[in-house]
């Protein structure tokens, strides 16, 4: 019976960018320790989507927790944050707390029948599950799907609200005084937070729960993020193990084949890839300036594009949001592709014709890019993206910022300037490319078998601490 074997319960936050690393973690756990029973829990629609994406031979168990978004004034289908606009995010965060009773019932059932150890690994936004672990005497680990550096800063800012104690544009963090933050690196809801606002009420209890977990796993690499990992270790006072990079594997379709065929026709390291992730878009005037900048740069590009901020992200795209005849012209000249919808990002980034990635600096996107040695043009929009870009630029010299924040006043001339810096044959561009290739090497070594791979070592130490290697 499976109850005789160690059981790992995975509980990702309800967002694709969180679910994917959990699925990758499940794959690593099973490949290295086939005797483990692994169950991923989520809501019905998410479980349905995950099940359809798994290979028939997958040993991953799936368990559905009842969830009723409509009870909180959200659309009935909104079981993922991707289905919502930003103004609904706070409500969704609070609604996700309603999963607690069903999750506890499931853990109680597993723990009550188990002969071997049970461990729950939950998303950092579900760190409140530590109380469930304590009640049922099972090991608890929070899994951080973001960067260590970005998370440490995000936690410090929301916990202490240091910007409220100064009128200066720059200030140091309370628990990391060596880190200096600029006000432009604060989102509006953080800038306006006073500790009694809705976002503070939602985030602060979640962040404080990190300190109560038995450990934290982070989707990163020790050699790349030693600074951020040490920041988390210093403040949390619990073991923090890097177990990355955990990245997605793209599936293919006929549409993807068209993209790859086009990429095959381009020169090596010549193509700019542009994507703001699965959640984000930019404003209409920014979209226009970006398009004009791409025209002026005269470099081949792939742009994953959706309707601008304030419009239905899944609605029909209007030609008026771009320069007259833009899409038809770039298609006719074979100089670019606009992807309306999903793109095989991992496959695109791995192609030899890729030269740079204009990114919102979401952590999954950055990891995929770094694993391929692709330099970054940064346009961070919100949350930890702003601090991921800060680390990439200041600590590693891996990227150049073209804009910052959702309200950035982008100019086409700036687009041309930054694209030329990163993709041109200039000294800074060469240095960024060299750095990117160095990091690619450290990423590839992290999962090396035995004691040499830092992430292999991190996962083994976690499994030992959790009592799962029996």
Give me the domains of the chain, ranges plus CATH numbers: 2-244+446-465 (3.40.50.2000), 254-443 (3.40.50.2000)
pLDDT the model gives residue 160: 96
Q: Could you tell me if 243 and 219 are in contact, meaning their C-beta atoms sit under 8 angstroms apart? A: yes
For all residues of the chain together, what is the average pLDDT?
Answer: 92
pLDDT the model gives residue 1: 42
Q: Could you tell me if 129 and 140 are in contact, meaning their C-beta atoms sit under 8 angstroms apart? A: yes
Weakest mean pLDDT among 177-191, 293-307, 441-455 = 441-455
Q: What is the pLDDT of residues 260-286, one digit of tens each?
A: 999 999 999 999 999 998 778 899 999
Instruction: For residue 116, name the pLDDT band (cuts at 50, 70, 90).
Output: confident
User: How many CA atoms, within 13 angstroms, populate the side-chain half-sphere of residue 35?
Assistant: 10
Which tokens sit at 174? 């309370």
The three-state DSSP-derived secondary structure of the chain is: CHHHCCEEEEECCCCHHHHHHHHHHHHHHHHHCCCCEEEEEECHHHHHHHHHHCCCCCCCEEEECCCCHHHHCCCCCCCCHHHCCHHHHHHHHHHHHHHHHHHHHHHHHHHHHCCCCEEEEEEHHHHHHHHHHHHCCCEEEEEECCCHHHHHHHHHHHHHCHHHHCCCCEEECCCCCCCEEEHHHCCHHHHCCCCCCHHHHHHHHHHHHHCCCCEEEECCCCCCCHHHHHHHHHHHCCCEEECCCCCCCCCCCHHHHHHHHHHHCCCCCCEEEEECCCCCCCCHHHHHHHHHHHHHHCCCEEEEECCCCCCCCCCCCCHHHCCCCHHHHHHHCCCEEEEECCCCHHHHHCCCCEEEEEECCCHHHHHHHHHCCCCEEECCCCCCHHHHHHHHHHHCCCEEECCCCCCCCCCHHHHHHHHHHHHCCCHHHHHHHHHHHHHHHHHHHCCCCCCCCHHHHHHHHHHHHCCCCC
Instruction: For residue 76, name the pLDDT band (cuts at 50, 70, 90).
Output: very high
Q: Could you tell me if 6 and 117 are in contact, meaning their C-beta atoms sit under 8 angstroms apart? A: yes
pLDDT over threshold 60, residue 465: yes
Q: Which phi and psi (to 5°) does residue 244 adopt?
A: -105, 180
pLDDT over threshold 70, residue 450: no
pLDDT the model gives residue 252: 52
- Report how far residue 463's alpha carbon sits from residue 8's, in angstroms, rounded to the nearest whole number: 10
Please list, residue by residue across 23-48, b when 16 or more beta carbons sit within 10 angstroms of its beta carbon and e when fewer do.
bbbbebbbeebeebbbbbbbbebbbe
Q: Could you tell me if 210 and 130 are in contact, meaning their C-beta atoms sit under 8 angstroms apart? A: no
Instruction: For residue 205, name the pLDDT band (cuts at 50, 70, 90).
Output: very high
Report, as an integer, the average pLDDT of 176-202.
94
- Report how far residue 354's alpha carbon sits from residue 374's, in angstroms, rounded to the nearest whole number: 7
Report, as an integer, the average pLDDT of 124-128.
92
pLDDT over threshold 80, residue 249: no
pLDDT over threshold 90, residue 429: no
Instruction: Please name the residues in contact with 433: beta carbons below 8 A apart, sequence gap of 6 or more.
Output: 269, 373, 375
What is the Rg, in whole angstroms, of the alpha carbon atoms belonging to the chain? 22
Q: What is the pLDDT of residues 342-400, one digit of tens each?
A: 899 999 999 999 999 999 999 999 999 999 999 999 999 988 999 999 999 998 889 99
What percent of the chain is modeled with pLDDT above 90?
79
Higher pLDDT, 238 or 2: 238
- Report how far residue 191's alpha carbon sits from residue 196's, in angstroms, rounded to the nearest whole number: 13
Q: Could you tell me if 341 and 314 are in contact, meaning their C-beta atoms sit under 8 angstroms apart? A: no
Mutual orientation of helices 363-371 and 427-445 as an angle, nearest 10°?
90
Report, as an integer, the average pLDDT of 148-175.
95
Q: What is the pLDDT of residues 286-298, one digit of tens each?
A: 999 999 999 999 9
Planar angle of CA 403, 350, 442, nearest 5 degrees: 85
Q: Could you tell me if 376 and 360 are in contact, meaning their C-beta atoms sit under 8 angstroms apart? A: no
Please list, residue by residue across 365-390, b when 16 or more beta carbons sit within 10 angstroms of its beta carbon and e when fewer do.
bbbbbbbbbbbbbbbbbbbbbbbbbb
């Amino acid at each position: 019976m499976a109850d005789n074997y160690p059981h790992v319960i995975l509980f990702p936050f309800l967002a694709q960018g969180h679910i994917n690393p959990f699925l990758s973690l499940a794959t690593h756990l099973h490949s290295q320790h086939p005797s483990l029973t692994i169950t991923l829990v989520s809501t019905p629609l998410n479980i349905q989507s995950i099940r359809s994406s798994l290979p028939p031979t997958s040993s991953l168990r799936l368990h559905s927790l009842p969830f009723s978004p409509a009870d909180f004034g959200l659309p009935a289908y909104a079981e993922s944050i991707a289905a919502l606009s930003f103004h609904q995010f706070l409500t969704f965060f609070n609604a996700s707390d309603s999963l607690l009773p069903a999750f506890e019932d499931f853990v109680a059932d597993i723990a009550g029948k188990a002969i071997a150890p049970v461990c729950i690994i939950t998303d950092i936004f579900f760190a409140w599950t530590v109380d469930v672990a304590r009640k049922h005497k099972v090991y608890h680990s929070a899994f951080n799907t973001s960067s260590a550096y970005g998370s440490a800063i995000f936690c410090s800012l929301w916990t202490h609200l240091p910007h409220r104690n100064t009128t200066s544009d720059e200030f140091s963090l309370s628990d990391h005084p060596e880190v200096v933050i600029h006000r432009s690196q604060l989102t509006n809801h953080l800038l306006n937070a006073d500790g009694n606002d809705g976002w503070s009420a939602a985030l602060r209890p979640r962040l404080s729960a990190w300190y109560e977990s038995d450990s934290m796993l982070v989707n990163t690499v020790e050699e790349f993020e030693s600074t951020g990992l040490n920041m988390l270790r210093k403040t949390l006072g619990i073991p923090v193990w890097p177990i990355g990079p955990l990245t997605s594997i793209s599936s293919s379709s006929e549409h993807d084949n068209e993209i790859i065929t086009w990429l095959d026709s381009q020169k090596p390291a010549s193509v700019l890839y542009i994507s703001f992730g699965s959640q984000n878009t930019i404003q209409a005037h920014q979209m226009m300036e970006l398009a004009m900048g791409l025209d002026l740069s005269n470099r081949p590009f792939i742009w994953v594009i959706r309707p601008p901020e304030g419009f239905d992200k899944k609605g029909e795209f209007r030609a008026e949001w771009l320069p007259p005849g833009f899409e038809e012209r770039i298609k006719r000249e074979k100089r670019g592709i606009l992807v309306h919808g999903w793109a095989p990002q991992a496959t695109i980034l791995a192609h030899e014709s890729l030269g740079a990635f204009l990114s919102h600096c979401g952590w999954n996107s950055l990891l995929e890019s770094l694993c391929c040695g692709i330099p970054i043009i940064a346009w961070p929009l919100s949350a930890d993206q702003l601090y991921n870009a800060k680390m990439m630029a200041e600590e590693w010299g891996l990227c150049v910022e073209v804009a910052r924040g959702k309200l950035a006043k982008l100019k086409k001339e700036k687009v041309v300037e930054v694209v030329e810096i990163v993709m041109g044959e200039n000294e800074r561009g060469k240095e960024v490319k060299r750095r990117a290739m160095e990091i690619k090497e450290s990423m590839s070594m992290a999962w090396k078998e035995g004691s040499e791979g830092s992430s292999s070592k991190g996962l083994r130490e976690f499994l030992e601490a959790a009592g799962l290697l029996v």
